[in-house]
Amino acid sequence: MDFEFSEDQQAVLDAVREFCEEELKPKAEETDASGEFPWENLRKMAELDLFGIPVSEEYGGLGMDFLTWAAVGMEISQACTTTGAVFGAHMLAQYPLMLFGTEEQKRKYLTPLATGEKIGAFGLTEPGAGSDAGNVRTSAVLQDGYYVLNGSKIFITNAGPAEIYIVIGNLRPDRGARGMTAFIFETGYEGFTIGKNEKKMAFPSLPNRELIFQDAKTPAENVLAGEKRGFRVAMQTLDVGRIGMGIGAVGVAEAALKHALSYAKERVQFGQPISAFQAIQVKLADMATEIECARLLCLQAAWLKDTGKPFEKQAAMAKLFASEVAMRTTTQAVQVLGGYGYTKEFPVERLMREAKLFEIVEGTSEIQRLVIANHILK
Ligand code: COS
């Protein structure tokens, strides 16, 4: 087994690390506090071709793999958690197009997403369809060459700034998952509007908004993967999305460990840096070990995907483990910083609030355990 990145992968990673150090990290606090979508960061990432890493060159991508995408995502998330979350959510719109898009859909929609010219979002969740993803009630009817949708979506990451949306509607709401169908929507389509933004525990600069469909029309050719295949589209999208959330969680955990390490080396108590005390060393060692395990699980899931092997179980494990590691690591980082860790002077309290998102979004820890159990009991 080879754990080395190839020369090409390493070259991308080196460029990304430099970009993160110079551009993202220095203004990560500002990006978080601003409440503004991080357009400037995203524009620079587009210049570096970071949005289309696993997309083939004919659709504007780099033609690389999900392993590189995952490793890059970890670097971005570690440097700026908000930008990392946008990067992860963007893939939820790209991936179903990569997997199911017709040639025309790929040219029209995948290309601007891969080049970073446009941001994407994925609309599945509804007030009554969260963990129960098969219960989508947004109705869809084919009329005069258009699908007409009525209903709403909630908590949609990137909604607002995004210009391309993959939306799961239902041709037969009475038949649950069996009627679900995926559609492509663009900003400005008749009857399609963006609703309220959620005020959250963390990530104020990351939009999580409602999508509202009131006789909203999308052309018939914008059906993705064919009628009544929407549940499969959603599940397969979430498989990759879970790797995306895993890498975001690893980034948050790594950022917390870095702050804990530097504080422990500087903070003097009882006449020596607290890093000299075994009580602190044990915490730091556990944090580092767990992060390494989470990172390897995420990279393994991405590698399995790249090699065409089943990766769904590993993706769920990666998301589950990495998000719980992020929660444990950030909690311990606050503990290492003590009273200062509880203040807003240091970023670890923010990281702890951010970590909680990953245990919930794109399938709660409980759902990941169900998915894993289904696989191992098969
Ligand atoms: N890839 C492809 N097909 C899949 C799949 C996957 N990962 N998971 C399920 N399917 C298919 C099954 O093969 C089955 O097909 P058939 O009807 O042809 O046999 C069908 O989908 C139904 O599968 P299953 O019975 O397992 O579905 P459930 O309704 O029991 O749902 C869970 C399973 C709970 C795992 C699913 O609803 C889920 O993942 N929920 C969480 C959703 C989520 O993450 N929400 C947050 C969204 S944030 S964007």
For each of the chain's 378 residues, which pLDDT tens digit applies?
789 999 999 999 999 999 999 999 999 999 999 999 999 999 999 999 999 999 999 999 999 999 999 999 999 999 999 999 999 999 999 999 999 999 999 999 999 999 999 999 999 999 999 999 999 999 999 999 999 999 999 999 999 999 999 999 999 999 999 999 999 999 999 999 999 999 999 999 999 999 999 999 999 999 999 999 999 999 999 999 999 999 999 999 999 999 999 999 999 999 999 999 999 999 999 999 999 999 999 999 999 999 999 999 999 999 999 999 999 999 999 999 999 999 999 999 999 999 999 999 999 999 999 999 999 999
- The predicted pLDDT at position 57 comes to 98
The atom of ligand 1 lying closest to the CA of 374 is: 26
Round to whole Å and give the CA distance between 57 and 53: 9
What is the enclosing helix (H) or strand (E) of 153? strand 146-157
pLDDT of residue 1: 79
Cβ atoms within 10 Å, residue 19: 21
CATH of segment(s) 7-118: 1.10.540.10
> Does residue 357 line the site of ligand 1, with CB under 6 A?
no
Q: Could you tell me if residue 362 is left (phi over 0), alpha (psi between -120 and 50 degrees) or otherwise beta?
A: left
Question: How does DSSP assign 209-268, residue by residue?
Answer: EEEEEEEEEEEGGGEESSTT-HHHHHHHHHHHHHHHHHHHHHHHHHHHHHHHHHHHHH-E
CATH architecture of 232-376: Up-down Bundle (1.20)
What is the rounded distance in angstroms from the CA atom of residue 152 to the CA atom of residue 276? 55
- Helical (H) or strand (E) element with 204: none
- Nearest atom in ligand 1 to the alpha carbon of residue 362 is 48
> Where are the chain's structural domains?
7-118, 121-228, 232-376
Is the distance from the beta carbon of residue 236 to the nearest atom of ligand 1 less than 6 Å? yes
| Residue bearing the CA closest to ligand 1, atom 17 | 178
User: What is the rounded distance in angstroms from the CA atom of residue 311 to the CA atom of residue 300?
Assistant: 9
Mutate to test the pocket of ligand 1, among 165, 175, 235 (most ligand atoms within 8 A of CB): 235
Cα 210 from chain centroid (whole Å): 18
Is the beta carbon of 126 within 6 A of some atom in ligand 1?
no
- Can you give the pLDDT at residue 262? 98
pLDDT at 363: 97
Q: Which amino acids are annotated catalytic?
A: 362
Q: Is the CB of 107 under 6 A from ligand 1?
A: no
3-state helix, strand, coil in the chain (%, to 5): 60, 15, 25
Class (C level, CATH) for 121-228: mainly beta
Q: Is the CB of 133 under 6 A from ligand 1?
A: yes
Q: What is the DSSP letter of 306?
A: H
CA of 81 to the centre of ligand 1 (A): 28
Q: What residue owns the CA closest to ligand 1's atom 35?
A: 371
Query: Is the CB of residue 325 less than 8 Å from the CB of residue 253?
Result: yes
Determine the pLDDT at residue 365.
98
3 burial via Cβ count (<10 Å: 0-12, 13-18, 19+): exposed
